[in-house]
Amino acid sequence: MFGGLVFSLVPALAQKNRPEANTRENARTVVQDVIQAAIKRSFRKTSDGQPYALLMLMNPTAEEQERVRDLGGVAVEVLAEYANNEDVIHQRVALRLLSLFKSDRALAVLLEFADHSRIREEAVAFTCVYPVEKIQPILEKFVLSDPNSEVRKAAKRCLGSYKNAG
């Protein structure tokens, strides 16, 4: 009797102790939902309910940010997928969500955005929250050699914020 119970529990325990196969897919769904909700709140509607103007991009709510933060490192991996997204609005919300994380991997993803996204200068600006010793060489590289003047300006402002703070 107990043998059958033990054998029936073993697969459940084994599955509980290993990462779920759908964890990344689950995180992708949560991140997509949060990004879509922030974008939806940003549009104003006509009298017949049709969206007509993006007045100002709204940040995800505190509750939405918490949902993404609770996903942990898998959320960072999902947010990395937005670096090459064609839609700038999606990239902007993804950057804001990415700023919730202060890990080395989150910084690496920010730098992917800074290298490849359509909003490179915004990604550079988000790196300012990292310790100067970690980010200074990277920002100096942007200042000295990036072909985009807006990216160079963002890197200079970020470096300047460290000098003004110290």
Residue 51: per-residue pLDDT: 66
Q: Is the pLDDT of residue 45 over 90?
A: no
In one-letter notation, the amino acid at residue 29 is T
Q: Which domain holds residue 154?
A: 119-166
Residue 137: per-residue pLDDT: 96
Domain termination residue (choose one: 102, 130, 157): 102
**83-118 pLDDT tens trace:** 989 899 999 999 999 999 999 999 999 999 999 899
Q: Region 78-84: what's the mean pLDDT?
A: 95
| 53 & 93 share domain | yes
Domain assignment present for 149: yes
Residue 10: per-residue pLDDT: 44
**48-69 pLDDT tens trace:** 877 676 667 889 999 999 999 9
| 46 & 125 share domain | no
Q: Is the pLDDT of residue 9 over 60?
A: no
| 16 & 93 share domain | yes
Specify whether the CB–CB gap between 113 and 101 falls below 8 A: no
| 96 & 124 share domain | no
pTM for the structure as a whole:
0.78
| 67 & 134 share domain | no
Concatenating the DSSP letter of every residue in 61-117 gives PHHHHHHHHHHTHHHHHHHHGGGG-S-HHHHHHHHHHHTT--SHHHHHHHHHHHHHS
Q: Region 72-77: what's the mean pLDDT?
A: 96
What is the rounded distance in angstroms from the CA atom of residue 160 to the CA atom of residue 9?
A: 58
Share of the chain above pLDDT 70, in %: 83
Domain assignment present for 113: no
- Split into its structural domains, the chain has a count of 2
